[in-house]
Structure 1
Amino acid sequence: MRPTMKDIADIHGVSINAVSLALNNKPGVSEKMRLKILRTADDLGYLDDKEKYLRTYEKTNLCVMMQDQYSKDMNFYGIILYAVVEEAKRNGYDVSMNFFNDNRMEIPKMILERRGSGIIIIGKISDSNIDALQKYKIPMVLADHASLVKNIDSVLTDNKLGGFVVVKYLLQKGFKKIGFFGELSYSLSIKERFWGYQEALRTLGPPDIKDHLTEYTHKYSIFDGIETAVLNNYNKQIIELVKKKECLPEVFVCSNDRAALALIMALQALGYTIPEDISIVGFDNIDMCEKIRPKLTTINVNKEIMGKRVVQRLIYRLNHMDALSENTVIGVNLVERETVKVTDLHRS
């Protein structure tokens, strides 16, 4: 037998009228009870052939998507995700989580069945997959990623400033051989951090660096084979990358904290001491930065604010469908700890 409003009412101990008010998105029931009634109606299959109730139901749901490879590193994206869920709940929305493979993405069932009012993408996604999602005409906002070819809202870290601030700090410390450790093809964020690194060397570095910046950068940096090894804890692969490098720098600026931690372990395995032999700076300020020894100097990214802002921007978009797309950029700051050597220039 098909479920009825009475079935739903009996489950929650409310009147049939209360169920009707909830399904029609009318006042008279609390938001908490409305969500419970809608969930039950969906679970029982009551909404399947009722278009007008589906329109109410979709207004209570957000679809959050993230590449499945990021599930291996929840120190960063996990905090953003938690903030997204909490901010969504605070505004009366429920979140459906979908992990996807960027090379063979499947459209989430919630989107196919029109049971979501908006989409949040956390982390990198290809433009072709953005295009596939946009065909469903559901508002979308990106977190920690931006498309260079799609007009779409995004919430980003000021990665360029972070890369610049790190190198400025290291130049002021007296370092002359500053390398970059990160895979530029992995994400837009890493490219931006590298751009900030280069721009600081170009504008603040001594003439011998400015005049030969490309040669200098490649001499002291490692760009290839990093991110997959880091995500999968392939420590031996990181060790091999370091061993192959003919000229190691005095300090590495790392694309993110996990890369920095992997590099520290590789250098220590090869007999180097941090920071006496080689200094290390990370990016993101994950919890492990405080737990390792020596504690990691890094750039702080406010992950909680990013999660909140992306939900707030999506809600704005839902209420202003014709507004121009915007990139919201969140500031960063340097957190000094113990992985940067005190140079002779700065000894007290």
Structure 2
Amino acid sequence: MKMEDIARIANVSKSAVSLALSGKPGISEETRFKILKIVKESGYLPRSMIKADKVYGLTKTLRFVACTNSGIVLEQYYKQPFFMELIHDIEEQCRSRGYSLFFSSIQTDNLEDAIETMETEHESNGIILLGTNLTQEQIRLIAQKQINLVVLDTCLETFNANFIVMNNVMGAYQAGRHLLDLGHRQIGYVQSNSRMYNFNSRKKGFLQALAEEQLSVDDEHFFSVSPTVVSSQDEFIQKIKALKTPMPTALFCECDYIAISTIKSLNELGIRVPQDISIIGFDNIQESTIITPELTTVHVEKGKIAELAVTKLFDMIENGDSVKMKSFIDTQLVVRQSCRAVGAAEAQPSLLSY
């Protein structure tokens, strides 16, 4: 049986069959299971697709699980820069240890059944769970299905599981100190309209930096926007237009996507960055160097997060390590052109770069 035959029987494209066999995201779990069921029954195993032998349980396999919703982790989350870079680093770490990485995207409203089906039909040696948008109860359900579990991008301090996350409080504190050191005292805050552990922790760290200087964010200078949009956002534009107080001299944005959309929104209003207002983001995604001006942001060590996650699972699987851990990875400030000192002349922004 050829790949074309499997595609015909499953009523899908050849590319869908390829995605199912290689473990890549881009198709639904229902479609993936249908294809792999046909593959099992037919005995088809393309030699060119090394990862396909996981269907028969011949290799050691880790599963990367993302639970999608409409707020933060989208259906095509793997195309979002932060997650795309993180997944690439996890793949490299798995490969270096002789493990294959299988991808599963499931809806949060069908979590328990989906996990049960995945681990029953295609059992993994361990799960790396993207916990960005998950509750403790949802994480508990997954932990019951797979004891070898590492949760990324969130942290529940009282829950008995492995968590690895960037030090959000530290990163936002660094951003706040940078703006203060540049002389800013009227600082605004652009937050996600979908809340989660990371964003709440960043707000804590940023406000802590301001509080050390007996400062706070004016109520009118809090703005809420979508965290997954990179175009200008009308709600933000309208709130800027309606301000009754003077504009802030700087804005902290809870992630780089928000910062990029904020710069585009301000540009539509004729407000220049950084000449009229300074902008700082968080995550240091690749797009932060493409936007004009290049974005001052907080760098997240995605490679280190991936390394620790795969190493922890490796130790659990290979060495029986049962000790749970909570790991916070410190951040670094990356200074580019989107911020400048209060009162600096227009010819001086380049002096603040890097």
TM-score exceeds 0.5:
yes
- Unaligned regions of 5+ residues in structure 2, if any? 1-35, 44-53
Cα deviation, residue 220, structure 1: 2.1
Amino acid at match of 2:138: N
2:153 maps to 1:154? no
Please report the TM-score for the alignment, with normalisation by the length of structure 2.
0.74
SS state of the match for residue 169, structure 1? Answer: helix
**Within 2, Cα distance between the matches of 1:58 and 1:235?**
49
Task: Give the counterpart of 1:242 among 240, 243, 251.
Answer: 240
Cα deviation, residue 225, structure 1: 4.3
**Within 2, Cα distance between the matches of 1:120 and 1:160?**
23
Query: Is contact 2:232-2:265 (8 Å) kept?
Result: no
CA pair 146-321 structure 1, distance change in 2 beyond 3 A? farther
Cα deviation, residue 232, structure 1: 7.8
**Within 1, Cα distance between the matches of 2:240 and 2:150?**
38
Amino acid at match of 1:291: I
Write out per-residue CA displacement over residues 121-162 of structure 1, whole angstroms, 9 at most, x where no aligned residue.
123322222122122243110111122442111111111111
Query: Is contact 1:185-1:191 (8 Å) kept?
Result: no
- Unaligned regions of 5+ residues in structure 1, if any? 1-39, 48-53
**Within 1, Cα distance between the matches of 2:92 and 2:81?**
17
2:33 maps to 1:67? no
Cα deviation, residue 328, structure 1: 1.5
Task: Give the counterpart of 1:97 among 78, 95, 103.
Answer: 103
Tell me what 1:218 maps to: 219
CA pair 165-225 structure 1, distance change in 2 beyond 3 A? closer
CA pair 41-104 structure 1, distance change in 2 beyond 3 A? closer
Task: Give the counterpart of 1:191 among 188, 194, 200.
Answer: 200
CA pair 220-310 structure 1, distance change in 2 beyond 3 A? same
**Within 2, Cα distance between the matches of 1:231 and 1:242?**
18
Tell me what 1:270 maps to: 269
**Within 1, Cα distance between the matches of 2:205 and 2:307?**
26
RMSD: 3.1
Tell me what 2:49 maps to: none
Query: Is contact 2:174-2:333 (8 Å) kept?
Result: yes
**Within 2, Cα distance between the matches of 1:121 and 1:245?**
42
Please report the TM-score for the alignment, with normalisation by the length of structure 1.
0.75
Tell me what 1:257 maps to: 256
2:114 maps to 1:107? yes
Cα deviation, residue 233, structure 1: 4.9
**Within 1, Cα distance between the matches of 2:134 and 2:64?**
13
**Within 2, Cα distance between the matches of 1:308 and 1:258?**
25
Task: Give the counterpart of 1:126 among 104, 122, 135.
Answer: 135
CA pair 92-137 structure 1, distance change in 2 beyond 3 A? same
Amino acid at match of 2:60: T
**Within 1, Cα distance between the matches of 2:333 and 2:157?**
28
**Within 2, Cα distance between the matches of 1:58 and 1:125?**
32
Tell me what 2:13 maps to: none
Query: Is contact 1:121-1:142 (8 Å) kept?
Result: yes
Write out per-residue CA displacement over residues 25-50 of structure 1, whole angstroms, 9 at most, x where no aligned residue.
xxxxxxxxxxxxxxx99944599xxx
**Within 2, Cα distance between the matches of 1:58 and 1:188?**
38
**Within 2, Cα distance between the matches of 1:241 and 1:101?**
33
**Within 1, Cα distance between the matches of 2:114 and 2:37?**
23
2:323 maps to 1:324? yes
**Within 2, Cα distance between the matches of 1:104 and 1:250?**
45
Cα deviation, residue 97, structure 1: 0.6
CA pair 345-239 structure 1, distance change in 2 beyond 3 A? closer
